[in-house]
Amino acid sequence: NVPFLEKEGTMRTLIRNGTVVTSVNEYEADIYIEDGIIKEIGKNTSRDAEEIIHAEGKLIFPGGVDEHEHYGSFGGRLFETTDAAAAGGTTTIVDFAPQEKGVPLIDAIKKQAAKAQGTACVDFAFHGIIMDPKESVFEEIAQLPEVGVSTLKLFMAYKGTDFYSDDESILKAMMKARECGVTMMVHAENADIINVLQKKYLAEGHTEPVYHYYSRPPVAEEEATKRAIALARTADCPLYVVHVSVKEAMEAIREAYTQGYPVFGETCTHYLTLTTEYLAKPDFEGAKYVCAPPLRPQKHVDALWEAVQKGWLQAVGSDHCALEGGFETKKRGLGDFTKIPNGCPGVQDRLAMLWTEGVCKGRITRQKFIELFATMPAKVVGLYPQKGEIAAGSDADLVIFDPDYEGVIRNEDSLHGIDYSPFEGFPVKGRPEQVYLRGKKIAENGRFIGPKGEGKWQKCRPYAMCYDYFSLN
């Protein structure tokens, strides 16, 4: 293993006879890599290389692109735990960089990037988050593309905190974003519904984690999603609704798109695989599953599978937020469910869960899996085709996947650095046998083989996929 940054001359790798799986097709081929870039894909290539991998019987995926993480924000552990991404077959993460109140928007990006540089184990990019919604900050949105940021998230939930933005602020931000090719993301939950219900349930003496669900009912997400769509239509701005968890919210997105508006959405691994019943686990165990929006009943899980299969939602992110301190930190909410910090780890298990629960159970095709796991996330943030694709000219971020492996998710095998996994005990079929980042092997059989800190900051292009609509009209 020669670190590619230190090696002199050309580094050449040849992956022979694997089955290349993309979002549109699959075929047996050799992949020839030079200096971290895919140079040639073909049958029986005569290329020579320092490293030759025999991949007969294996599937070759593009490295995963996970466009929803919280490293260091919302109490999530920092970038040294991105080895979990690598081990799980994700080679690019797109992290949220929340602005500090009173500090310019792009300073947050630079600060977050400084934390990632020299630490991150996979490539990284950023979304902005406005924490100080006011005119001068909306003006700063135009600077985001200058630092390689093409997406911006605003929160309709979390009223009473700096995260919250009212409708006026969201509309103004959307108008500005539209002028400079930035895609707007929203956390769509009605903050007032949540506040009233939280107080009501606490007053009635309900303190357990499952009241996190009851106080954030599906209608709170449905209403906010519809309002976000109305604001985006007013601003004529592309909208990407993150972590969609509710059937009716998904239907509102589908309806808007079919009516001709550039409205898209992401769901997350846990909304496809876990239900509200996990929140009701006894002995405060349910707190481990507290995230926002909350886990939903089975009806929504089924609707979300149909949505990803039919293309009504575009991508599956992890919303990875491995809270520093793990379960102990969740215990801040003992006796008051509103004080349980939101967030669950998930970056390492996104591939295994989506493959096992999706492809192996016949819910999605292999092509759809690649689309949701890598290709679409890269398109949404403006990193495609450098990321999320297997093609000549793309970065050699590759997963050599063993489809025959059978195992069980166990936290003791997880690298996210906390004491539990929400997917503990799930049987999985298949696993990333080898993971390559820009032509360099970084993980093997679920273990990160380092070195840490070689992830590079990737600059996203503005006018990304959600803007394609406009070029047609």
State the residues that interact with Zn ion by CB under 5 A: 187, 319
Residue 74: which of ligand URP, Zn ion, none does it interact with, CB under 5 to 8 A by kind? ligand URP
Adjacent-strand bridge partners of 214: none
| Binding footprint of ligand URP on the chain (CB under 6 A) | 70, 74, 187, 291-292, 319, 321, 342-343
Are 369 and 399 a contacting pair, CB within 8 Å? no
The position carrying tokens 């070759």 is 60
Within a 10 A sphere around the Cβ of 122, how many other Cβ atoms? 30
In angstroms, what is the minimal distance from the CB of 194 to ligand URP?
A: 12
- Judged by beta carbon, residue 67 or residue 397, the one nearer Zn ion is 67
Backbone angles phi, psi at 61, to 5 degrees: -105, 155
In angstroms, what is the minimal distance from the CB of 288 to ligand URP?
A: 12
Residue 223: which of ligand URP, Zn ion, none does it interact with, CB under 5 to 8 A by kind? none
In angstroms, what is the minimal distance from the CB of 230 to Zn ion?
A: 19
In angstroms, what is the minimal distance from the CB of 342 to ligand URP?
A: 3
Residue 376: which of ligand URP, Zn ion, none does it interact with, CB under 5 to 8 A by kind? none
Backbone angles phi, psi at 143, to 5 degrees: -85, -15
Minimal CB distance to Zn ion: which residue? 187
- Judged by beta carbon, residue 187 or residue 226, the one nearer ligand URP is 187
Closest CA to 51 of 64, 41, 36, 65: 36
Q: Is 235 exposed, middle or buried (0-12, 13-18, 19+ CB in 10 A)?
A: buried
Give dist(CA 69, CA 97) in Å, integer: 10
Residue 390: which of ligand URP, Zn ion, none does it interact with, CB under 5 to 8 A by kind? none
- Judged by beta carbon, residue 222 or residue 319, the one nearer Zn ion is 319
Give dist(CA 164, CA 98) in Å, integer: 12
Cβ within 8 Å of residue 232, ≥6 positions away? 174, 184, 238, 239, 261, 262, 263
In angstroms, what is the minimal distance from the CB of 445 to ligand URP?
A: 30
Give dist(CA 316, CA 271) in Å, integer: 10
Report the relative pairing of strands 12-21 and 263-268 from DSSP bridges.
Answer: unpaired
- Judged by beta carbon, residue 161 or residue 298, the one nearer ligand URP is 161
Residue 342: which of Zn ion, ligand URP, none does it interact with, CB under 5 to 8 A by kind? ligand URP
Cβ within 8 Å of residue 7, ≥6 positions away? none
Q: What secondary structure letter does DSSP report for 250?
A: H
In angstroms, what is the minimal distance from the CB of 332 to ligand URP?
A: 14
Q: What secondary structure letter does DSSP report for 36?
A: T
Residue 208: which of ligand URP, Zn ion, none does it interact with, CB under 5 to 8 A by kind? none
Residue 343: which of ligand URP, Zn ion, none does it interact with, CB under 5 to 8 A by kind? ligand URP
- Judged by beta carbon, residue 319 or residue 433, the one nearer Zn ion is 319
In angstroms, what is the minimal distance from the CB of 68 to ligand URP?
A: 7
Give dist(CA 328, CA 252) in Å, integer: 38
Report the relative pairing of strands 239-241 and 183-187 from DSSP bridges.
Answer: parallel
The position carrying tokens 């406009």 is 470
In angstroms, what is the minimal distance from the CB of 228 to Zn ion?
A: 12
- Judged by beta carbon, residue 83 or residue 319, the one nearer ligand URP is 319
- Judged by beta carbon, residue 41 or residue 185, the one nearer ligand URP is 185
- Judged by beta carbon, residue 343 or residue 446, the one nearer ligand URP is 343
Task: Verify cis geometry, omega within 30 degrees of 0, for the bond prior to 133.
Answer: no
Residue 127: which of ligand URP, Zn ion, none does it interact with, CB under 5 to 8 A by kind? none
Rounded alpha-carbon distances, angstroms, from residue 443 to 53, 57, 120, 184: 14, 19, 14, 34
In angstroms, what is the minimal distance from the CB of 242 to Zn ion?
A: 6
Residue 291: which of ligand URP, Zn ion, none does it interact with, CB under 5 to 8 A by kind? ligand URP
- Judged by beta carbon, residue 318 or residue 434, the one nearer ligand URP is 318
Closest CA to 55 of 302, 446, 398: 398
